[in-house]
Each structure stands twice: as structure tokens, then as C-alpha cells.
Amino acid sequence: MDNNKHLLDIRGLKVSFWTEKGRLTAVEDATFSIKKGETIGVVGESGCGKSVTSESILQLHDEQLTDYEGQILYKDRNLLDEPERKLRKIRGNEISMIFQDPMSSLNPVFTIGNQLVESLMLHRKPSKKAAYEKAIDVLRQTGIPSPEKRIHDYPHQLSGGMRQRVMIALAISCEPELLIADEPTTALDVTTQAQILDVLNELQEKTAMGIMMITHDLAVVAETCDRVVVMYLGQVIEETTVDQLFENALHPYTIGLLKSMPSMESDRSDQLFEIEGTVPALENIPTGCRFADRCPFATNKCLQEAPVLENATVSHKVRCWNYEEIALERGNGYATTTS
């Protein structure tokens, strides 16, 4: 595949759930793409729609309670139009996912070897012996020591970092073209986190798979991603390259996230910056800009009219009525995490 061609192209995605409070929209007008060999970070606070967006790619939500609109184009095929039997062939095979909590994602009554072999035999149909050899190989690739022995272990016999490595092994065992990693380093210590990210980077270099990294940690984004999508209350509010995001963030929400990061230059007595307020509930989505009630730059227009995602530059999109004025006020828009 041409590396400049989009592997995944999400266009105007809307995801709604039927609940006791009625039909609530968790994602609206989400639009972004991923190329082969590219890592894109999707960031935002809890409740901003990151996980719902990623799970919607494989339609992992209850089909009786979920409505999808828009397009999720994978190799130019709209996955929202594909029948379930075709999606089953794609899930875990061409598109794989690493979930946040490996302990709830791994089956506690089967060895990790059984779970790896089952996945391989389902999608690739090798002999059982070949499947076990492949399972040992992918465990070795993810940095698990003595994989010939570990393959017989149960999930509870492994540390948190080792279980996360097993989840990565499961996800890459069928050599997917796209890997969705949902908070893959949550609850891991800093050393283990760095090791896990190194494993993903090495695997990507070998296979040129695309990676969609869901995280709230901007340090992880800076370390691993090529481009960043910032989400707020179900919408993409900014998208650009990693360098541009850290140097020249345009949306007030993104600016707030960057200012909230600890800095090596900060005095220990300095308080961390905090974005005022909280993400509104889905049943109370504001009429105008969804960030307006928390935004220090908000005007009456922001409160009344919803902005659209527009091109600020060729490589930079933003959903804000006042981004040009904000950029001028902040000194040509070039931001630092300590500004």
C-alpha cells in the first residue's frame, strides 16, 4: 500500500446510545485519518469520546442500543456497511485493539498460550504446533523472558507489565495493519511504561502498521506520535502534527491541557495550571461551542453558535471562533507548556 494513502479514514462519525435518559450522542462529527506506518494520538479528558470513537471502528458496542452515522473507511471500505461476518474476519486480524485493563480482557481460566493459539487458529488457521511456535515468537517479540515457560502461565501469575505485554502479543499475533491502543500504559510504573512504548515502536518499525494511541498523557503523545487529534465532549476540536501542537496549539482547551503538564523548569512550590470546570454530561451538551462555559476567551457568539472544524493551515485544523485572535494575543500563537 502507498504510505501516503489513508489506511483508515473516519468521516463525520456520529455515535449515539439509547439509555434510560433517552438517545444520547457520545461522538459527533469526528473526522480524521491514519496512514500506514503512522502513529496518531487521540487525547482529551475522561468522557471526551476517545474510547467510544476507537471502539466504534470495530463496532464493539451493543448493536441494539447503538446508532452509527457517517463513514469509517478502512482501505476504502465503509466498515459501517459491512455485515457482521466480515467484521469478525477483520477484528483481531487486520485491525487489533489493546484494551486498558488486561486483567479484564484476558480470560482467567485459560493459559496465555491457549488464548494466543485460539486467536491464531481462528484467523490464520495454522497447525496447532505452528500456532504454538508463533505464540512463543510473539511473546518473545514483546519482551517476555522465557516465553517457552510463560506460555503455560495463567494471567494472575503475571505482573501488570507482563499482562500488558501479553495483550500486545495477542493484538499483534496476526500481524494487523492497524493497532488501536486504548491507554496501553495506564497504571504502569514509569519504567514499565517506557518499555511498553518501546515495544510498540519497534513492532511498528518492523511491520509499518498504523497505530491509534488513545491516551490522556501528553508525554506519551510527545514520545510516540506523529499527529494528534484532540477531542472534547465527543468532537474533534484540534488536529495537527505533534511538533505543531506543542509549539503552536490554537484551541483554548488544548492550550489548557499543555499548561497543565508539569515542567522541569517549574518551581516545586508552583501550583499546576487547572482548566476550570468539568466536562458536561451528555444530556447537557451546550448549544454553541461545547467548551465555551470553561473557556476564558468565550464570547456571546461562542455561547450561541457551534463552530466547525476548519483548516487554520494545511496541516492544522481547529474548531474555534476566536483562534486567530487568541494566537495573536499569545504572541503569534507559539505556546510552551509553561506559558
Output phi, psi for 179, to 5 deg.
Answer: -115, 125
Stretches where the chain sits below pLDDT 70 are 1-4, 187, 263-271, 331-339
Listed residues 140, 155, 175: the one ending a domain: 175
Any domain includes 284: yes
**Residue 141 belongs to domain spanning:** 102-175
d(CA 179, CA 7): 11
Domain boundary among 131, 159, 175: 175
What pLDDT score was predicted for residue 268?
A: 58
Residue 193 lies in a domain: no
Asked whether residue 119 is domain-assigned, the answer is: yes
Instruction: Answer with the one of 149, 175, 201 that is the final residue of a domain.
Output: 175
pLDDT of residue 336: 36
The pLDDT of residue 15 is 98
Q: What is the pLDDT of residues 215-252, one digit of tens each?
A: 988 989 999 999 999 999 999 999 999 999 999 999 99
Q: Is 97 a domain residue?
A: no
pLDDT at residue 271, as a whole number: 67
Instruction: Please report whether residue 107 resides in a domain.
Output: yes
Does some domain include residue 272?
yes
Give the number of other Cβ atoms within 10 Å of residue 116's Cβ.
23
- How is residue 305 written as a grid cell? 453558535
Q: Structural domain tally of the chain?
A: 2
In the chain, which ranges are continuous DSSP H helix?
50-57, 84-90, 102-105, 112-123, 128-141, 147-150, 160-172, 190-207, 218-224, 242-248, 252-259, 300-304, 323-329
pTM: 0.90
Asked, for residue 313, whether it belongs to a domain, the answer is yes
Which of 59, 167, 237 is closest to 229 using CA atoms?
Answer: 237
What integer pLDDT is reported at residue 335 of this predicted model? 40
Q: Is residue 267 part of a domain?
A: yes
* Cα distance between the two ends of the chain: 42
